[in-house]
Each structure stands twice: as structure tokens, then as C-alpha cells.
Structure 1
Amino acid sequence: MKCTLYTQKKQATLVISKLILFYQCKIICAKGNTGAQYYLIFHRDRYINAIKTDHLKPESFLFRAIEQGMTIHRAHPIVYDLLKQSPFAWTSARQVKKKTHRLQPDMEQVTILSYFDQYIAPKTIIELYQNCFRSFKREGQLQKAYQSLVHLNRYQPNLTFYQDMIAAVEFQNYHTEQSTDSVTDPIVFALTMKENDSARLTSQLSSSWNTDEWHQLWLLLQNYPSRVIFTTLEHMLRQNESLIQEPPFTEVLLSQATAKQFFNTLKKQSPFSHLINFDLFKQQLDALTVQRKISLLKNKPNYFINLIQNFSMHEKEQLIKPIVNVALQTESIPLVKQWLQDLPFNISLKEQLATMERFEQDELHQKELANLYIEFNNPLHAIECLKWSLAIDTDDLSCYKQLIELLRSTNQEQEADVYQNQLIHLARFRSLFR
């Protein structure tokens, strides 16, 4: 499969290897006669320009598209449709850069330019999105202002500017409405609204469950990235909430979710009529941020209890212990102990924390307290306990050795060397009296 690329002075015949779909962009990957790599960029279905490079910049739009987008290899109806525009004109990078200086606030034009951050500075793209936002907000076009923030965050996630602006009161309603709108992803839109087989199946399953139709849809969805699968199924779930009670549907939905999506889905849709897979639940729990883990016990105990109520006692303990591990790094033992006391089932962690609370103010049990902290993967608190123990008993060789090992494991080499020298002197002193 071939296409032609031309400039004012010459033309080249390219051999097409694959097509990549990423948000509103389509990218034809092709090679020239010399082996040079070309990327033909389309916005929706309209050809824009080409990029020639053998070395993609990390985190550039092209790099992310190849990493995260959907890949279609060679012959496919979509590719043939795009090739109807051949031969393709190739404009120099210098001319594309000039557009950034003349550009008026236009979100679509900025989005198109973002495809070319292989040679346009990302800072320039960010500033153009910010200019769009300010212009729309100044004119009172809050919907467009919000969309410019969405595009900015998609291009460069979690910028301070985005975080500050999206938190503004006037955008709260837009945020709630748009954050779950699958139509913002054109691939999902095509799956649910345009492509015949998938559109028919998603529509029918959104009305009523049918196992055969589900198997057909799942065969189609398996060719797409996780984000597309999850968003497509979430779109269907909004049409028919009873789908969450179907184990095959729920299993796929939750397995394709990020940790945040996983727990948000459970919060909105539980309880289920079937068990949640334990390994998947633990994997998603482990992927949560420290603060989100702690909040499950600190702020949402009833929600968490409902989530884990069908797991065995051993499984419950496996899920709660990692939360206790991180909680003990910043919270007091009595407070964490109280969180566990509020749980309506008995686990050994409650006894361990009760023991730790007794030992905490007892200078004669600091070594034992250190060992309990180690069990909760908390070496820094264990180090402080061992130092306290050595202040009481300066001749405890095993305490020295344990402290030195912990200091080295936490990259506190200089302090470890100090205690190592003390241990050497103590050992020599003892040998004199044997």
C-alpha cells in the first residue's frame, strides 16, 4: 500500500505500514525509499501535514499517540478513505512554526498545532491553549472556555494553571457533566454511534442483556485500548444501570478501569449481585495514591466495609494491611487503632495495634515496637524506636546490628557508619574482658 508526498521541488513514494487513531487525530506511518520514517497527520479525516523523523521526542504528541493510540495495520477501509486525498502536500516545519505567531485564539487550530510538537515547543502550545481559555472566558463563552481547559489537560496533564482554573466555581457544573461524556473521544463515539456492528450491539445491550450479543461486542472491543473499552462500557452503563448486575459485563468494565475509575464505579453502582474478583480489587487498591488509601478507612469506613464484606477474613486482612502500612507513616497509632476498632469484624491487625499502643510509651519495649513497625513496612519509625532502645541499653549488640541494617536500607549511610563504629568499639571493649 503506497502514497505520494510532494513539495514544490520534489516528490516521494511512501510505503504505508500502519494507521494510528488517537483522539481526533489519525496518523499514517510510512517509509520512503531510503528507509526514512514519515508520519502523515490528519485532523479527523482532513490531511494537515507530514513529519519526517527517525527519532521521536519523548512525551511529544506523536510519541504518546504511538504508545497509547489504537493501531490499524495496512489495508483497512479507513486507510483507503484517507488515501483518496493523495498526493499529499508537505509543508516545511518553518512554515508551520510561522502559523503560531499569527494564530488568533482558535481551539481547533491550536489542537492541530499540538500534533506537531515534534518541532514546536510544548510551551508555545500550552500558552496558545491558555490564550484560548482567557479569550473565551472574557467573552462569557464558559462552555468553550471549559473545553479549552479539557484540551489543555489532555495535551499536558495536571498543569497548575489547569488545576487552578478547573476548580473555579463557574466550571463545576461543566466538570460534572463533561468528565463522563464519552463523545469527547471520537473512537468511543464511532463505536457507540457510527460503526454498524458495534453501534448495533452497544445499542441493543444498553436496552437488554443478551449473552451472545455481549460475546460479539467483546470480540470487537478487544482490539481497542483499555481507556476506549472502559469509556464505551461506561457509556452503555449510563444508558442501562442494570448491566452492572451482569458478571461478564462488570468483570470487563472493572478490569479495564484505572484505580480511580474502579473505585468510583464501585461507589456509584454497588452493591453487586455477584462477587468482585479479589486479585483485581487488591491490584486496584495498591494502585491508589497514599491519600486515597488512607481516606478509605479515615473518611469512608462504611463504604469500604460494604466493598469488602464478601471477602474472607484472610482476604480482608490482606486488603486492610497496606492501608495501615501507609497510615502509620503519618497518623498516630491510637488514631489508626480507632479506625480498625470501628470495623465490624475481628482481624489480628487490631491486636497488633493495641500492642503497639501499649509499647509506644514504654521505654523497655522499644525494640519490640520497632519489630512491629517493620511488620507494617515502616522502617523510619522502627529506626527511632531502636535509637531509643540503645539510649536505655547501650550494650545491646543485636539492637545495633538491626539499626545499622535499617539505616542502610533507607540510604542513611552516614548515620549507619556512625553506629557501625560504635558497634566496633563496643565489640572490642567486650573482648578485653573475656
Structure 2
Amino acid sequence: MPFSTVTVKENKQESQLQVQRMAIFNQCKIIEAVNDQDQTYYLFFHKDQYLNYASAKKLTKRSYVNKAFQKGIVFTPPHPLIDFVLSSQPQFSKRSFNGLFKKLQKYYSLQETALIATYFESFINKEKLSNFIETLFYKERRDGKLLSCYRILYILKDFSPHHRLADAFSGDLDFNRYDERYKNNDETILSSDPIYMEKKLYSSKHHDQSFQKLSNMYDKQGRINDLLAISIQQAVHTQDPKDYAVLHTLIDSRFEDLDRLHLLEDLYKRGLSIETLQQDLLHAYIENEKFKDILKLIHQSGLTLTPHQSGQLVKMVKGNEDAAEELTPEELQMLLGHLLESGDPEAAEILTRAISSLLDEHEISYIKKWGEPLKHYPKAEPIIKKVDLMNELIEDPNQQLKLGELYHEFRQPEKAIECMSFDMELREEDHRPVQWLAKLYHEVGMKEEHHAYKQLYIDMVKRQA
């Protein structure tokens, strides 16, 4: 089930938040959500592991959160990747940052712990975070782990370029040697530093070689959702059917029908415009009986339904009595074109229902114009001609009885009552509009009026006998 809300807990107080979006940026995932007072919260995950949540009134432009939403891959609900992250636990508890950072050191390397600390610069004083990373550096230095020290220093320099530690070790011979090895892309040293490699590959992931290396890295680490995210972005970027085919295989291997549909919709909304996606999305809409979305897609993309697909669409609509009310006039027109083209025996009845629905909100002149493209279908022609006739009669005071009869035919009893009332006043001795009013008031459930006009009709007939 798609997650549109998330439960957070601080001490013993639970709150329901509305999910707004999620950013995937390198190893980090951030979910933005709001409470019913429009206060914004951010839930942080490292890879797919929950870390902590925090609220912020305002973020700095250079904050990690802003960077993640600007440079990362952003998803909005409903989306299976958001669902996967939020389904990891029923609620997300607030943790003290001191407790979190102590716990991180038990489960992650100190280099990875330093990286995770940088996520929270909008919620913890930057100097305090820098000093924490410095303690990790000196802890590794005391243990003689110089390469790890160098890597932690690299994270610190990226996070806080003017920190005193950067200056203190700028001339260190060991670190200078590591600098050279990194600059020369020493495979031995790079292969043991996935954090550095991911950052480097992620920044250039639209280049084919970088994308392939990053994909392989995510695959080996079992980070299928991250692989899916970059594959979505890559397919949209290249508009290449081959990239989409690889992505589609990944989607099919991991997701069921409705999740697969949401992923295809996401790709379409992101601007992937290749025909294979449009056909796959059309098929998914048909499988899930989303007839309104089918029509919208056909209208936007210009796709043509096969006879079998038209038959499936017709079956869907006939099974939904409220179809006409749910569609825009343009979608209705398109749907009726498919129904009439297919020769469906109930097409004329559905057209009549559609016109009835349109009469609730539109003038007859609008419906006349709306029906013009359907007039060439034999089953539609006599119905559209009635609309044309109504358009002629509406300004003729001597033809209100006929107009009322046509309104009744299109299931508009209130409008028919107006016409018959006008005609009755115009032709006081004519019992026909009175007979109609008795019938119409009965149909709309107005018993007193029905009985009054029924008696009036009987009296008029007796007088004329």
C-alpha cells in the first residue's frame, strides 16, 4: 500500500506527518514531510537504514538537505521507492544525536561515521560536527591507521574547508603521497574506498562509463533501490530505448502490478517520451482498469488502440455507470469515438448518457459543437441531430413543448419542467404540457405537484370532451 503518511515518535508522543518528497543522493536518503501545522520534518537514512529525524524552520542554501534535493534524484508519492524506505519499520523514533553518533561507530567505519555526521549540518552546529569528525580523525591516528585518517580528513575538508585540521596536515608527507595516488587513479587505493568512488561516479553518472561503474557498485552492494533510482534518471536523460529496456527488466523483476504502474507513471511524468514506455504504460492502465488515465494518455501521446485494446476499454466503461461524470468533455469525446468505431451495440445509449451529463454543466450550443466530430458515425448521427434541433428550438417560444420532450429524452427533467411550464402559460387550453408536467413531477418525486397537475389534466380533458 502506498505510504502517504509517516508516524514519528519523540519520547511517548506520536505524530502523523504527510510525506512530500524523497531525495536520493549518494548513500543518503532524505524524506521531507509536514505536520498539520505545516511544520517541516526531515527523516534521514544511510543507504536504507534509518538514522534520525529532525524539524527545521529554515535551511541554509548550502545545507546538505538542500544539496540533496537539488543534486539528488527526487521522488514524490505515491512511489514504490518511498514505500520501500518507509516500510522498514512502523514508526520512526527521535534519537539524541550524541547517542546516534556513539551507535554509528559500532556499526560503521569511522570514515562512514564522519560522512553520516555531515548530513545533519542544518540541525547541529557546524563547528560541533567538525569537532566530532576531528575526534574520529585522531582516534584513527592513535591507532596508526593513516589511510583512514586521510579519508576522514578528505570528508572534513569537503565539509568545512577552513577547519584547523586541514591546515595542520596540509604538508604531511604521508598524506601528500595519498594525494598523488588518488590523483593518479591508483586502482589499489580506489578499490578500497567505496565512499570516495561513489561520490566521484555519482557526480558524473550521466557519462556512460561512470554510470556503468556506479550501477555495478550498487549491484554488488545489494543496493537495488539506488540502482533503480539512477537507472530511472539515466533513461530519462538519454531517451534511449536500450536504457529503458534494462530499466524495465529491473522493474519487472522486483515489483508487482500497482507498483510497476506507479514507476511507469513516474517515468512518463519525468519526460521519458519513447513509444515503448507509452505502450507499457497503456498496457498497465488497461490491466488495472484505469480508463480515465487511458484516455488522458491517448490524448497526450497520440497512441492508437488496437482492436483488442479498444474492446477492453469499452468493457471497462460499460462496467462503470459513472464513467461519463468522471471524464472531461474531451475525454468523453475520445471515448465515444472508440465505442462508435468498435460498433458496440450500447454505444448510442452511452452517448445519450454522456450528453445528459454534459447538459448538467454546459449550454446546448457547447454540446452541439462538442458532438460535431461524432456525427459521421451512423449510430451517433440521429442523437447528435436531436442536439442540433434543441439548439434551434431554445430561442423559439412556440417550440418549448418539443424542446421539453427532448430535454426529457436526455434525462433532464428539471429543464423539461421549465419548458412545459412556459408552454402551458402560452397555450392555456392545450392539455399536453399539463400531462407532461404531471409525469415529470412524478419522476422527480414531487408528489403534491404531481397530483395537482394530474387532477388539472383530468379536469381539462373533461371540459374538452
User: How does the TM-score come out when normalised to structure 1?
Assistant: 0.47
User: How does the TM-score come out when normalised to structure 2?
Assistant: 0.44
Q: Which has the larger radius of gyration?
A: 2
